């Protein structure tokens, strides 16, 4: 474990040795009592993370699979997509690719889509569902889910939530906030290897899903619901990753989800303070890309002065033994990103930030 704490990519995130070693367990049949016991163990770990009494679907796909499931299983009718970054744009593109009549609002990457714009759109026309990204990994912006959900439900619109870099890192209250479908991927704040996605659907959403006409097969949530009650999955799951998830679920339960959220909040604050310090020390206009009132607890995009390139910062930090993320999409050149999520600690994050500051001072010379 002494080498843990060098890999600060905003996904995949660093995985602890104990979790990696869990995957060495031998195979077992995926129909049978031993598997069902394993799956039940997984549920015990996952439900508190989602703050839900509902079962958690386990998809052997990356998170994009459950983005597609969300769209395919939404009731017939148009989709409203809230776009404020690369991943929310992807969600809208998936709706289009699945043949849905899709209306996009927002487009400004600097902030969550304003509630007034959401309300206006919902008043204009009835939408079966809206798509929203909780924590925009491309910008580090956090959207307030209770506000969006309350508005959507006033207009009888289901809320499909990508909380891929939210769940397990920042507060998500699936049941209390009445989220219709919310999902994450294994390789972000849950600090598991890539390859699984987890999601929870409300009973209301499932009833609507039963009326969806093009659910397809692999991502049919109605099937998932049927199997989850038997502690099974519709097709052969990535069994080794399930072993890892069981172990990590127990680790998170010991930490407690509240303590995990608090640790992430502390790391985010530390990173924001560090950016302010960097600006003061260098006199150059470094800043946190996301607005102060809407910052994610798991990832920070740092906007660079024109003289610096995101890639050069990433390369310099790598020479010092740490991995951080480059800018994403149209922010590739003008930002870099630090993933302060998963099982990282403020101590090791401080060392990564120190290496990043050293790199920047050298590049500015
Ligand atoms: C990483 C990420 C995804 C896509 O996840 P994959 O596991 O690569 O399919 C979707 N949305 C957000 C916000 C993400 O951070």
CATH dotted code for 257-364: 3.90.1150.10
Instruction: Find the helix or strand (DSSP H, E) in which 177 lies.
Output: none
| From the candidate CATH numbers 3.30.420.250, 3.40.50.970, 1.20.80.10, 3.40.640.10, the one assigned to the domain spanning 17-255 | 3.40.640.10
pLDDT of residue 247: 98
Where would I find the H helices in the chain? 17-22, 33-50, 63-73, 86-97, 115-124, 145-154, 203-209, 221-228, 239-255, 257-282, 310-319, 346-364
Alpha-carbon span 195 to 58, nearest angstrom: 10
142 in ligand 1 pocket by Cβ < 6 Å? no
133 in ligand 1 pocket by Cβ < 6 Å? yes
pLDDT of residue 327: 98
Enumerate residues 6+ apart whose C-beta is below 8 A from 32: none
185 in ligand 1 pocket by Cβ < 6 Å? yes
11 in ligand 1 pocket by Cβ < 6 Å? yes
Contact predicate 142/163, CB 8 Å: no
Which protein residue has the closest C-alpha to ligand 1 atom 5? Answer: 63
87 in ligand 1 pocket by Cβ < 6 Å? yes
Reference 151, options 182, 184, 183, 113; nearest CA is 113
Which protein residue has the closest C-alpha to ligand 1 atom 14? Answer: 164
Ligand 1 pocket: which of 10, 58, 64, 300 to mutate (most atoms within 8 A of CB): 64
pLDDT of residue 48: 97
The DSSP string of 274-325 is HHHHHHHHH-S--EESS-GGGB-SSEEEEEPPTT--HHHHHHHHHHTT-EEE
pLDDT of residue 41: 98
Q: 124: CA distance to ligand 1 center in Å?
A: 30
pLDDT of residue 3: 81
Residue 194 CA: nearest ligand 1 atom is: 7
Full pLDDT tens readout for the chain, 365 residues: 458 999 999 999 999 999 999 999 999 999 999 999 999 999 999 999 999 999 999 999 999 999 999 999 999 999 999 999 999 999 999 999 999 999 999 999 999 999 999 999 999 999 999 999 999 999 999 999 999 999 999 999 999 999 999 999 999 999 999 999 999 999 999 999 999 999 999 999 999 999 999 999 999 999 999 999 999 999 999 999 999 999 999 999 999 999 999 999 999 999 999 999 999 999 999 999 999 999 999 999 999 999 999 999 999 999 999 999 999 999 999 999 999 999 999 999 999 999 999 999 999 99
Alpha-carbon span 56 to 141, nearest angstrom: 26
pLDDT of residue 2: 57
Q: What is the residue extent of each domain of the chain?
A: 17-255, 257-364
pLDDT of residue 1: 42
Q: What is the CA radius of gyration of the chain?
A: 20
């Amino acid at each position: 474990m002494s080498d843990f704490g060098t890999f600060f990519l905003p996904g995949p995130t660093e995985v602890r040795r104990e979790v990696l070693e869990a995957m060495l367990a031998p195979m077992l049949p995926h129909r049978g009592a031993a598997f069902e016991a394993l799956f039940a163990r997984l549920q015990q770990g996952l439900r508190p993370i989602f703050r839900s009494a509902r079962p958690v679907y386990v998809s052997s796909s990356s998170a994009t699979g459950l983005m597609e499931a969300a769209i395919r299983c939404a009731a017939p009718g148009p989709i409203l997509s809230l776009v404020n970054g690369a991943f929310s744009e992807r969600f809208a593109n998936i709706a289009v690719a699945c043949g849905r009549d899709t209306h996009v609002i927002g487009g400004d990457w600097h902030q969550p889509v304003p509630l007034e714009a959401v309300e206006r759109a919902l008043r204009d026309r009835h939408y079966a569902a809206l798509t929203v990204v909780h924590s925009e990994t491309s910008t580090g912006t956090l959207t307030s889910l209770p506000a969006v959900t309350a508005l959507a439900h006033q207009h009888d619109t289901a809320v499909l939530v990508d909380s891929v870099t939210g769940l397990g890192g920042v507060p998500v209250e699936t049941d209390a906030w009445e989220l219709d479908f919310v999902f994450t991927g294994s390789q972000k704040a849950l600090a598991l290897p890539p390859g699984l996605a987890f999601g929870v659907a409300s009973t209301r959403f499932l009833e609507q899903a039963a009326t969806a006409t093009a659910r397809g097969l692999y991502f049919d949530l109605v099937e998932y619901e049927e199997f989850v009650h038997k502690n099974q999955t519709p097709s052969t799951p990535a069994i080794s990753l399930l072993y890892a998830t069981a172990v990590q679920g127990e680790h998170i339960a010991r930490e407690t989800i509240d303590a995990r959220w608090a640790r992430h909040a502390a790391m985010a604050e530390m990173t924001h303070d560090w950016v302010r310090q960097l600006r003061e020390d260098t006199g150059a206009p470094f800043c946190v890309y996301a607005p102060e009132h809407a910052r994610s607890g798991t990832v920070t995009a740092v906007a660079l002065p024109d003289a610096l390139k995101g890639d050069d910062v990433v390369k310099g930090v790598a020479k010092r033994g740490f991995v951080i993320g480059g800018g994403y999409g149209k922010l590739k050149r003008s930002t870099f990103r630090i993933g302060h999520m998963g099982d990282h600690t403020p101590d090791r994050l401080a060392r990564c930030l120190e290496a990043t500051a050293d790199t920047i001072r050298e590049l500015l010379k």
